[in-house]
Structure 1
Amino acid sequence: MTAQDVFDRQLAAIAAGDLDALLAQDHPGAVVVRFDRVASGPEGIAGLFAAYLAAKPQVDELVSVRTSDDVIFYQARMTVGGNQVETYGTLVLRDGLIWRQTAAARPLA
């Protein structure tokens, strides 16, 4: 499995609004870091992702995706909660699962 495979599954889970599929991507020691919150462990990350999926995120355009063996860096334009945003993030993999994730968004004018 490649980093691109992991990213493709992540996008599919978001598009489907599938919390279980998102959580299945995470390493047991996963941590998600955003400007507004840091979530770790299955329960913390489940709460973060449940709230995110409740906002009905939709990827409108993948602007850029770069991958190495164990790192994914992306930029995307999305609609989240009815608002258009530009998002940036990093996924660091360990054993084929997401071990560390960062995410940031800024409103589009």
Structure 2
Amino acid sequence: MSEAIVSSTHPTHWGRPDIVGDLLAVAVTPGAAPPRELRIRPELYQRMLTQLPPDERAAVVGRRLIGPPPGVPVVVDPELPAFPGFEVVRARPETPSRPHAAAA
């Protein structure tokens, strides 16, 4: 094995889980429609809450929103598949309005 590989410093790959950060990263993907709501399985929701500081946890439980204002609504949905355990519901794309047939 190359000595350069063995002696190089490795960046930390595994950090502490950040469920809120991961969910928001997926929800606000550049180029995708904005998130309308985030559906999440109950066990993932509970795990997410345990990672939050008490003040943030109270805000999420009380308002059912995560992320910076205006926030993304969170809906607990036990019907979602176990993997990945969440679903981003996106806003419908805005379509230009067509003239009404009667107006034509």
Of Structure 1 and Structure 2, the greater strand share is in 1
TM-score, length-scaled by structure 1: 0.25
TM-score, length-scaled by structure 2: 0.25
Of Structure 1 and Structure 2, the greater helix share is in 2
